[in-house]
């Protein structure tokens, strides 16, 4: 009885230790599982956020613009050419030009976009002329209306309809200033439901890369299809020659006495086994649409 109790007392620490070890293992596995699931969740969240961000950037509803400034637009001053240009009775020696290309790459046409083109410099040069030229096929009188502006250094226009972009069509805003130095200008939207932002060149780059990758993939697919098609018809002939070379080699070894067995049936069985193991597997694609391959061996 005492021995039994002693045995139980001796085994108790072992049971406790085993239980503790099992508990630690369970906790370690549980922590590993939690960390793994958390990592998956965080990764999925980051990927989803990136996809959402780039999707919003790609499918934005903003108009876009490109800006170009030209200093000393006339390569040779008018006086040197024997010509004279005047504005408000004052002769002009040279002019500078600021141009904006208003582009609509959204998924819909934009109506009643009020755009303000403003000179940002404190000392603004004299504006000789300014206006917006619509794309070909759109009447300027019907599509564009100049509105009054409270800012003397700004010109405000309403474009009644800006169609979705087609090819290289855009509304071309041109402002000509007196002097050789073009001022700094900006464009903004005065319409609450219409926004305008700088042109996003990365979209063009992305499209070019995607088109290039698609072309490369198509080329690789065509090359692979052609190669596998040729192999499909040539494989029976190649397999036949391969088996015949094996048979000839076996006969040569037999004549040289290098084979333990000279039984013709054994050689035939060896050839059949070799032919079976070396026979190519049928193509999963071409075997469904072309006649079945016929192997002699």
pLDDT band at 11 (very low <50, low <70, confident <90, very high): very low
Mean pLDDT calculated for residue range 260-285: 80
The torsion defined by the Cα of 187, 191, 195 and 197, in degrees rounded to 10, comes to 0
Specify the pLDDT at position 19. 45
Mean pLDDT calculated for residue range 165-194: 89
pLDDT band at 64 (very low <50, low <70, confident <90, very high): very high
In the predicted structure, residue 31 carries a pLDDT above the cut 50: yes
Helix, strand, coil in percent for the chain, rounding step 5: 45, 25, 30
Looking at the DSSP bridge assignments, the partners of residue 97 are: 70, 176
> What distance in Å separates the CA atoms of residue 129 and residue 177, rounded to the nearest whole number?
7
Among 170, 203, 202, 204, which residue's Cα sits nearest to residue 187? 170
Specify the pLDDT at position 5. 45
**CA 112 to chain CA mean position, Å:** 33
| Residue 182: CB atoms within 10 Å | 23
Q: Say if CB 185 and CB 124 are below 8 A apart.
A: no
Specify the pLDDT at position 175. 96
pLDDT band at 250 (very low <50, low <70, confident <90, very high): confident
Residue 94: phi and psi, rounded to 5, are: -160, 165
Specify the pLDDT at position 37. 67
Mean pLDDT calculated for residue range 99-115: 91
Specify the pLDDT at position 34. 59
In the predicted structure, residue 227 carries a pLDDT above the cut 80: yes
Specify the pLDDT at position 8. 40
| Per-residue model confidence as pLDDT tens digits over 76-91 | 555 555 556 667 667 7
134 compared with 280, residue with greater pLDDT = 134
In the predicted structure, residue 155 carries a pLDDT above the cut 80: yes
DSSP 201: H
Residue 241 corresponds to which tokens in the numbers above?
């020659």
Per-domain residue ranges for the chain?
A: 1-59, 63-199, 204-289
Specify the pLDDT at position 234. 86
Specify the pLDDT at position 15. 39
Q: Which of 55-64, 109-118, 204-213, 236-245 has the lowest mean pLDDT?
A: 55-64
DSSP 164: P
Specify the pLDDT at position 176. 93
pLDDT band at 10 (very low <50, low <70, confident <90, very high): very low
Q: Which architecture, in CATH terms, is 63-199? A: Sandwich (2.60)
> What distance in Å separates the CA atoms of residue 90 and residue 82, rounded to the nearest whole number?
16
Looking at the DSSP bridge assignments, the partners of residue 173 are: 100, 132
Residue 61: phi and psi, rounded to 5, are: -105, 20
């Amino acid at each position: 009885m005492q021995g039994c109790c002693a045995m139980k007392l001796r085994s108790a620490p072992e049971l406790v230790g085993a239980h503790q070890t099992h508990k630690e293992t369970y906790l370690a596995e549980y922590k590993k599982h939690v960390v793994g699931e958390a990592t998956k969740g965080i990764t999925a969240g980051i990927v989803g956020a990136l996809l959402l961000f780039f999707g919003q950037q790609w499918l934005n509803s903003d108009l876009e613009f490109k800006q170009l400034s030209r200093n000393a637009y006339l390569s040779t001053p008018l006086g040197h050419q024997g010509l004279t240009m005047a504005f408000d009775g004052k002769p002009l020696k040279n002019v500078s030009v600021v141009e904006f290309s208003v582009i609509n790459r959204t998924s819909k046409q934009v109506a009643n976009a009020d755009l303000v083109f403003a000179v940002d410099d404190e000392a603004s040069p004299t504006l000789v002329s300014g206006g917006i030229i619509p794309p070909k096929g759109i009447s300027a009188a019907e599509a564009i209306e100049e509105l009054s502006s409270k800012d003397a250094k700004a010109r405000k226009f309403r474009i009644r309809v800006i169609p979705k972009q087609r090819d290289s069509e855009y509304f071309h805003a041109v402002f000509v200033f007196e002097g050789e130095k073009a001022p700094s200008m900006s464009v903004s939207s005065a319409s609450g439901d219409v926004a305008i932002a700088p042109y996003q060149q990365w979209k063009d780059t992305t499209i070019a890369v995607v088109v290039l990758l698609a072309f490369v993939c198509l080329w690789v697919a065509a090359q692979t299809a052609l190669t596998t098609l040729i192999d499909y018809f040539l494989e029976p002939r190649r397999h036949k020659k391969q088996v015949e070379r094996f048979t000839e080699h076996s006969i040569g070894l037999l004549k040289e006495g290098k084979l333990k067995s000279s039984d013709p049936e054994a050689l035939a069985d060896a050839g059949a086994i070799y032919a079976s193991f070396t026979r190519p597997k049928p193509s999963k694609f071409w075997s469904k649409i072309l006649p079945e391959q016929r192997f002699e061996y």
